[in-house]
Amino acid sequence: MHRITLRQIHIFETVARYQSHTKAAAVIHMTQPAVSMQMKQLEDSLGIKLLERHGKSITLTREAEALRQYTGNIMQSYRALESYVDDLKGHEQGNLVISATTTANHFISRILSRFSRLHPNVNLSLDVTNRKTILTQLEYNEPDQVIMGEPPEGMDLDSEIFMNNPLVIIAHPDHPLRNQKNISLNKISKEKFVSREPGSGTRIAIERHLKKYNVNCNSGLEMTSNESLKQAVAAGFGLGIVSQHTIELELKSNYLCILDVESFPILRHWHLVTRKGKPVSLIASAFRDFLLEECKQLN
């Protein structure tokens, strides 16, 4: 058996988790052919088959499932080592890995940019992705910190509210309801809506809120990102419900407008989330303090 590299272990862990070369490649910033090649080399080195291929999908072999017990421990120890080395360097050097839901991208990119100017020797990594991927990352203890809406229960997480997150109903600026006040939910429910995909944190919060009033929205179009939802609303496909923090530029440019609807905005919160028991590096602690201070101005 040839020597196995840590890089191959990392790639194997990611492929095994997502059971997809394409998704794994996106997560670890490689091309799909490069991931496939590394997996083939790992199989050759070990002399065992790791993946069963069924058309475009893959599943782990029994041997691969057993191997994960060891590779998971290796990656967890390696991340703990990275955190320890970062602490030795102090909060002016090292690595900080942040994951954020797509709806948080509008403000978290600006905050990270300001943090980076204060700590130029810190290597920052920001992964903006959907809630489902965020939860998978948390399960495997990957990011140092996560920026998201309401965290799920039962995942052994530590979370801290750092900013309000009001959800508002948006429309094309020429929409007939624009100048009406305290529009009833019954009236709004007759409108066509552009919505996020099932499982989205925003959609879950909206459905929970409307259920209290026995109201359903007519979803005529589903989008997998906040940006595409805003564009669809601006194009006149229907109304939308988004975080108010994500439409600052669109409101200023009269690209979108907010409707005055009863029981809106829905008041949610942004959370800073980590796995319970995960060591917090000095860099991660410095970012937390910076985030809390910056967001005082946004609340």
Q: So what's the pLDDT on residue 91?
A: 64
Q: So what's the pLDDT on residue 247?
A: 93
How many domains is the chain built from?
Answer: 3
DSSP element (H, E) containing 5: none
The Cα–Cα gap between 285 and 70 comes to 30
Query: Are both 68 and 195 inside the same structural domain?
Result: no
Question: Cβ(95)–Cβ(122) under 8 Å?
Answer: yes
CATH number at residue 65: 1.10.10.10
Query: Are both 65 and 98 inside the same structural domain?
Result: no
Query: Are both 173 and 157 inside the same structural domain?
Result: no
Higher-confidence position of 198 and 271: 271
Query: Are both 255 and 198 inside the same structural domain?
Result: yes
Query: Are both 279 and 154 inside the same structural domain?
Result: yes
Query: Are both 18 and 111 inside the same structural domain?
Result: no
Residue range 113-119: mean pLDDT, rounded: 93
Query: Are both 100 and 145 inside the same structural domain?
Result: yes
Q: So what's the pLDDT on residue 1?
A: 54
Residue range 265-282: mean pLDDT, rounded: 90
Q: Which two tokens stand for residue 115?
A: 């943090």
Instruction: State the pTM of this model.
Output: 0.75
Task: Residue 45: give the domain boundaries.
Answer: 6-75
Query: Are both 182 and 151 inside the same structural domain?
Result: no
The dihedral region occupied by 160, where left means phi > 0, alpha psi between -120 and 50, and beta the remainder, is beta
Quote the strand ranges of the chain, DSSP E. Answer: 51-54, 57-60, 94-101, 122-129, 145-148, 157-171, 192-196, 218-223, 240-243, 257-258, 266-275
Query: Are both 149 and 286 inside the same structural domain?
Result: yes
CATH number at residue 114: 3.40.190.10
Query: Are both 128 and 197 inside the same structural domain?
Result: no
| Residue 49 burial (C-beta neighbours within 10 Å; 0-12, 13-18, 19+) | exposed
Percentage of the chain lying above the pLDDT 90 cut? 40
Query: Are both 186 and 260 inside the same structural domain?
Result: yes
Query: Are both 276 and 249 inside the same structural domain?
Result: no
Task: Quick: pLDDT tens for 10-66.
Answer: 999 888 888 888 888 888 888 999 998 999 999 988 888 998 887 777 888 999 988
